[in-house]
Homo-oligomer: A and B are copies of this chain.
Amino acid sequence: DFVHALQEVRPAFGVSEEDLDAAVSGGIIKYSPNIDDILKKGELFIERVRQSSGDRALASLLLHGPAGSGKTALAASIAMQSNFPFVRLISPEGYVGMSEASKITAIQNCFLDAYKSPLSVIVIDSIEIILEWVQIGPRFSNSLLQAVKTLCRKTPPKGCRLLILVTTHERHVLEQMDLISAFDSEIGVPYLQSLKELNKVLDAMQFLDSPEARHRVVQSIEAKTGSTVPSIGIKTLLSGLKTAQYSSDVEEEFVDFMVDHINARRNKYV
Chain A residues within CB distance 8 Å of chain B: 3, 6-7, 22, 25, 44-45, 47-48, 51-54, 59, 67-68, 92-93, 95-97, 104-105, 108, 129, 132, 134-136, 138-140, 142-143, 145-147, 149-151, 153-155, 173, 176-178, 181, 184-185, 239, 242-243, 245-247
Contacting residues, chain B, for A142 (C-beta < 8 A): 132, 134, 139
Contact of A149 with B129 in the complex, beta carbons under 8 Å: yes
Contact of B243 with A185 in the complex, beta carbons under 8 Å: yes
Contact of A147 with B44 in the complex, beta carbons under 8 Å: no
Contact of B155 with A22 in the complex, beta carbons under 8 Å: yes
Give the docked Cα–Cα distance between A3 and B22 (Å). 39
Contact of A147 with B96 in the complex, beta carbons under 8 Å: yes
A177-B134, A243-B184 known; A151-B96 Cβ under 8 A: yes
Give the docked Cα–Cα distance between A59 and B243 (Å). 9
List the B residue with the shortest CB-CB distance to A60. B239
A134-B145, A246-B44, A246-B48 known; A53-B129 Cβ under 8 A: no
A7-B53, A22-B155, A149-B129 known; A97-B105 Cβ under 8 A: yes
Query: Can you give 20 A-B contacts (C-beta < 8 A)?
Result: A6-B53, A22-B155, A48-B243, A67-B181, A92-B149, A92-B150, A93-B153, A95-B150, A96-B147, A96-B151, A97-B104, A97-B105, A129-B150, A132-B142, A134-B178, A135-B176, A135-B177, A135-B178, A136-B140, A136-B176
Contacting residues, chain B, for A150 (C-beta < 8 A): 92-93, 95-96, 129
Contacting residues, chain B, for A242 (C-beta < 8 A): 48, 52, 59
A3-B53, A135-B176, A142-B134 known; A154-B93 Cβ under 8 A: yes
Contacting residues, chain B, for A134 (C-beta < 8 A): 142, 145, 176-178
